[in-house]
Amino acid sequence: MDTPKALRFGLTFLMPGLLLGLVWIQPLSARQPTPAELESIQMETKTVFEDFLQLWQEERYFEMYHYGRNQSRQQLSLEEFATRMVQLDWVPVGLSADKAPGISFRYRTMLYMNADVIFRHKSYYDLQFNKQKSFLLLKENGSWRFDLIQMIRSPFYSPSDS
């Protein structure tokens, strides 16, 4: 039995659209982490952030460099990064006790760590201020990485968190 021409015509044009719709919907739902994954990501990124902040406070720039995203490391050599960090006048001394760091999830492999950081002047120890910062973290090769360009512009630059 032959399928009527109108039905064949409709199936010919509707099926690719339906398949495309299913392919489009699938990744959107796949991006949403489960509550267990969210908790795991929060614990993992909090630890990475604390380690990175500790290195920054101690001005251990060569070690900080290894936390950088691949793109950042292609733009900045290790020596250039360390030199630019030494030239900064401000260094973080810790996080504000008033506000705990928070995470803004974008995807399983991309998030912003939002923290109220206390910065101190390197030469004038009495000069310090708090600054709300958003640090972009991307997961590359199984590890969370920071944007080194943001670091060499700190404390006055933050990526847009919108």
Segments making up each domain of the chain, as ranges: 1-30, 32-152
pLDDT of 148 > 90? The answer is yes
Instruction: Please state the rounded mean pLDDT for residues 108-114.
Output: 90
Burial label for 23, CB within 10 Å (0-12, 13-18, 19+), is exposed
Which of 150, 79, 63 has the alpha carbon at shortest distance from 115? 150
Domain covering 32-152, topology: Nuclear Transport Factor 2; Chain: A, (3.10.450)
Q: What is the pLDDT of residues 22-46, one digit of tens each?
A: 444 444 445 567 888 888 889 999 9
Assess contact for 50 and 103: CB atoms under 8 A.
no
Q: Note the pLDDT tens digit of each residue in 63-87.
A: 999 999 999 999 999 999 999 999 9
